[in-house]
Amino acid sequence: MHEFERVIDVSEVPDPGKTLVEVEGEMVALFHVNGQWYALDDVCTHDGGPLADGELRDYRIACPRHGAKFDIRTGAALTMPAIRPTRSHEVKIGDGGVWVKLRDVPMADGLAAHAVGSPATTLPPSPAPASSANPSETANTQATTGQGSTGPLCEDTVRETLKEVKDPELFVNIVDLGLIYDVSIAPGTTDEAKHALTINMTMTSPACPAGPQLIADTKRVLSQRSDVESVEVRIVMDPPWTPDRMTEAARDQLGIF
Ligand code: FES
């Protein structure tokens, strides 16, 4: 059973503002917006990014690692690549201090009653949660035909073919995500008409759960070309991927500002 714990003086955080506090040994991101206080786990549910270090805009906090946004009032994931809520906690004001009481599970839905003195009905509406992504796009997440580009083999046609491979969490192709660093094309070893491809690609995070699938799909769509003899995929984590590598189309699709 958790209890309220005083974490800071009210005067320590401006409005709007945020800070990082420790409650029962856990790191909690504390937000002060429009006279109200909110608390979330300092953990992005995509890959553990520190939310307290992100950019706070109105009731949204953006993860500094890959740009996922969360509603600070509920912990709801608003944009990819996060699809699960982070835990929100109860907050109250008393004796000039801010008090936080941990919750055991995320508040997945609705506007929280934990905003101090802030009835849910007075809060602006939240954008649709990330988990409500268009199901028809979900159905297109698998690489399929390998016929994305039928032109002569060159870097452009390789990249065009690779647009058939989509990240299963983000629903954006790996080229527009900026995951393809280099494409090299060498003569085939057994057939002059064919080529050996080496693809240097990265992942949005070192522990990306979609990694094996993306590698397999990359090999599959390229191997289906009649002018390809072999495909080697090398995973490169330096430089690390950042949202800056995405095309405008991908940023629009993910709702990243
Ligand atoms: S760790 Fe937060 S968006 Fe990737």
C-beta of 49 in contact with ligand 1 (< 6 A): yes
Query: The domain 5-131 is classified under which CATH number: 1.10.10.10, 3.40.1670.10, 1.10.1760.20, 2.102.10.10?
Result: 2.102.10.10
Task: From 90, 82, 89, 47, select the one nearest 61 (Cα to Cα).
Answer: 82
Using a 6 Å cutoff on CB, does residue 65 contact ligand 1?
A: yes
The arithmetic mean of pLDDT across residues 179-183, rounded, is: 97
At the topology level, CATH places domain 136-254 in GMP Synthetase; Chain A, domain 3 (3.30.300)
How far apart CA 246 and CA 252 sit, in angstroms, is 10
What is the overall mean pLDDT for the chain?
Answer: 83
**Mean per-residue pLDDT, 65-77:** 91
Per-residue pLDDT at 118: 33
Domain 5-131 and domain 136-254 have a common topology: no
Centre of ligand 1 from the C-alpha of residue 158, in Å: 29
Residue 42 pLDDT: 97
Which one of 53, 63, 172 would you pick to mutate in the ligand 1 pocket, going by the greatest count of ligand atoms within 8 A of its CB?
A: 63
Q: What is the pLDDT of residue 107?
A: 60
What band does 255 get if pLDDT is binned at 50, 70 and 90? low
Query: Do 30 and 38 contact (CB within 8 A), yes or no?
Result: yes
Domain ranges of the chain: 5-131, 136-254
43 confidence band (pLDDT: 50, 70, 90): very high
Give me the pLDDT at residue 101, please: 96
pLDDT surpassing 70 at residue 149: no
Q: Taking Cα atoms as reference points, which of 21, 38, 206 lies closest to residue 118? A: 38
96-143: pLDDT as tens digits = 999 999 998 766 443 333 333 332 223 334 444 443 333 333 333 333
pLDDT for the residue 210: 85
**Lowest mean pLDDT across 27-36, 78-87, 163-172, 216-225:** 78-87
Which of 67, 79, 85 minimizes the C-alpha distance to 178? Answer: 67
